[in-house]
Every structure is written in C-alpha cells, then in structure tokens.
Amino acid sequence: KFVLENDYGEQDRYNEVIFKYAEVVRELGAKYNIPVLDFWVEGGIVPDVEDQFVDGIHFSAKGNEIAAKLLIEKLGKEYGHLALSQEKWKYPNFTALYEQ
C-alpha cells in the first residue's frame, strides 16, 4: 500500500501537501541563505519511476543511490572549499576509548 493515495485508491505522488512542504523548504533556504537540494528540480529523481520509491514518497534502494549521488555533488559544489584531504585526517583509537 502506498502512503499517498487519491480518492480512487491510486498512488498519488503529486499530493498538494508535498508541493507545499517543498515550497516552504525552498523559501526558507532562500531566506536564510541555506542551499537546498530539490531532488525533482535538480534532476535524477523521477516521480513517475516506480522503482525509485517504495511507497510513493520514500526512496527505494535505487532512489537512495540516486539521491546520494545528487547530495554528494551538491555538497561538493556548495561546500567543497571546506573539504579536508582524507590523508590529513587523524582517527582516534576507538578500541582504546571503548576499553576505558
């Protein structure tokens, strides 16, 4: 069963509540200068493709894979200047922390 259904019991990803929610998120992003990743507008996620969703709104494994790629691209574009080379990272000894 799908999360969103219209009056005829059919899957309805175009529910006006979803669009209002997305619109408010975009408005808040613009107001506070926070980058927003709109999966439908920026491409990759196609609402008409069944195998990208498990229930009409939540991503399937394939949908999550596409979303992750879009998110990585967006983060690189918006915050790439903040990235540190992984070679410079120093990881704590979690075993020692756990044993304490």
DSSP assignment of 9-34 equals S-B-TT-HHHHHHHHHHHHHHHHTT-
Residue 7, pLDDT > 60, answer no
**Tokens 């200068």 map to which residue?**
33
Per-residue pLDDT, averaged over 86-95, amounts to 68
pLDDT level of residue 88 (50, 70, 90 thresholds): low
Category of 44 on φ-ψ map: left (φ > 0), alpha (ψ -120 to 50) or beta: left
Confidence at 20, pLDDT banded by 50, 70, 90: confident
Tokens (6 digits) for 63: 């949908």
Does the pLDDT of residue 2 top 50, yes or no? Answer: no
**Residues 36-74 pLDDT 10s:** 998 877 766 665 677 888 877 788 899 899 888 888 888
